[in-house]
A = this chain, B = another copy of it.
Amino acid sequence: MKRLDSTPKKDGFRMPGEFEPHRGSYIIWPERPDNWRLGGKPAQHVFLEVIKKISKYEPITVCVSREQYSNVLNLIPTNGNVRVVEMSNNDSWIRDCGATFVVNDKGALRGIDWTFNAWGGLVDGLYFPWDQDDKIASKMCELERVPRYRLDDFILEGGSIHVDGEGTCMVTSECLLSEGRNSTMTKRQIEKVLCEYLNCTKVLWIPRGIYNDETNGHVDNICNFVRPGVVVLAWTDNKKDPQYAISKEALEYLESEVDAKGRKLEIHKLLLPKPILITKEESLGVDAVDGTLPRQKGDRLAASYVNYYTVNGAIIMPTFNDPNDELAVKTLQELYPDRKIETVYAREILLGGGNIHCITQQVPRG
C-alpha cells in the first residue's frame, strides 16, 4: 500500500474518538517469558477472554508470532468475528506500537505509523530491541489495505493520546515531554505534530499519569473521553496515597481548561482499586533478562479502571477482585447507558505492565 508524505490534516483526515463506530479491533498474543509469567500461559488465557468478549461486538484480528500460531488457532473461538494472522512482535501492546487510524468524511481510512521505541528507547525503554514492534503499524495498514503516514522522526505510543474526535487531544506532560522520546523538541513543536496528524486544534496537557506507571504515565491509564465534553478521571480519596496528589493535580488542570470547541469539561471520577503489588510467586514466574524491566516482588502495579476499551455496543473493563470493581461497573454503566459493561479479571495483564486498553487497538469504520 501507499506511503504518504502529506499529513492527515492536509488531506482532510482526523482521528475519531474511540467511542465512534469501529470496523474492528486488533490484539497481539502475549508470550515473552521475561515479561509474562509462566511462559505467558496465565496472561494468554486472559487475553483469550478479552478476545472472546470483543468478538461478541465486532471483528477482531489476533496477531501472533510464528511460534504461537498453531496454539492460538486451536485455542481461538471459531466464530466468524475472529481471525488469526501471523505477526512478529517484541511484546503485545498494540495500543502503543500499532497504527493510529484516521478517517475522512467520505468514509476513507488511513493509518499513522509513529516511530515506536519501547517507551523510552535507550534512555528508559522497557526492553531491547523493539524492531518488530516498530513494524506492527505498517503491517496493520497492509492488512487493512490502507495508505500509511510514516513519521520517521517522531516517537509516540497510541496509549499516550486520547482524542474526542472533535478537535481535542489529551496527553500527559510526564510522557510526551519525557527524555526518552522527543527530547529535542519543544512542547509547542510536539503539540504541532499532534494537531497535524490527529487533526486537532487543542491539546490538553494533564501533568502526570498513574503512580508508578512504567510507560512514563500514559494518559490512557488516568483519563479518557466518554464522549466529546465528558471525561472520566482515575481517582482516590486516600490522601496518603501518592496517587492522590497526581489525580488532584489532573482534576484541577482539567477544571481550568476548555476543549477545542470551548466547552468546560464534565469530569467524572472513577475510583481506583486499592494498591496492587507483585507477589513473590508472580515475580518468580518471570525470566530475568538483561535489558528488560524486571518484575520484582512488592512492586506496585499501575492498576486503573480507566484502562477500559470501548467497542461497538460495549465497554471491556478490567476488574481486580477489589471492592471498587462493582462501583466502577456502576459508574461506567451510568456514563455509557447504551453500552453493555463487560468485565475481565485482569490481574495477569496488569502484571505485564498495562491493561485492556493497552493491549487493544481500534480500526474506525471508514
Q: Which residues of A contact B (CB under 8 A)?
A: 1-3, 59, 66, 69-70, 73, 78-80, 82-88, 132, 135, 138-139, 142-143, 145, 147
Contact = CB atoms under 8 A, between A and B. Distances in A.
A138 B88 CA distance: 17
A1 B86 contact: no
B145 A80 contact: yes
16 contacts: A1-B78, A1-B82, A1-B84, A2-B80, A3-B78, A69-B88, A69-B135, A69-B139, A70-B135, A73-B142, A80-B145, A83-B143, A84-B142, A85-B142, A86-B86, A86-B88
Which of A59, A84, A132 has the most C-beta atoms of chain B within 10 angstroms of its own C-beta? A84
Number of copies: 2
A1 B83 contact: yes
A155 B73 CA distance: 21
Which of A3, A145, A147 has the most C-beta atoms of chain B within 10 angstroms of its own C-beta? A145
A59 B138 CA distance: 18
Given A66-B66, A142-B84, A79 B2 contact: yes
A73 B143 CA distance: 13
A205 B84 CA distance: 38
Given A1-B78, A85-B143, 15 more contacts: A1-B80, A1-B83, A3-B78, A59-B145, A69-B139, A70-B135, A73-B138, A80-B147, A83-B142, A83-B143, A83-B145, A85-B85, A85-B139, A86-B86, A143-B143
Contacts of A142: 73, 83-85
Contacts of A147: 80
A59 to B, nearest CB: 8
Contacts of A82: 1
Which of A85, A88, A142, A145 has the most C-beta atoms of chain B within 10 angstroms of its own C-beta? A142
A346 to B, nearest CB: 26
A86 B2 contact: no
Contact of A66 (B2, B85, B132): B132
Contacts of A88: 66, 69, 86
Contacts of A69: 88, 135, 139
Which of A66, A86, A138, A145 has the most C-beta atoms of chain B within 10 angstroms of its own C-beta? A86
A135 B79 CA distance: 20
A274 B135 CA distance: 46
A143 B142 CA distance: 11
Contacts of A139: 69, 85-86
A135 to B, nearest CB: 6
A145 B55 CA distance: 14
Contacts of A59: 145
A306 to B, nearest CB: 32
A341 to B, nearest CB: 28
A3 B82 CA distance: 12
Which of A66, A84, A139 has the most C-beta atoms of chain B within 10 angstroms of its own C-beta? A66
A73 B87 CA distance: 15
Contacts of A84: 1, 142
Which of A1, A2, A139 has the most C-beta atoms of chain B within 10 angstroms of its own C-beta? A1
Q: Which 7 A-B pairs have the closest CB atoms?
A: A66-B88, A2-B78, A83-B142, A84-B142, A83-B145, A86-B86, A86-B87
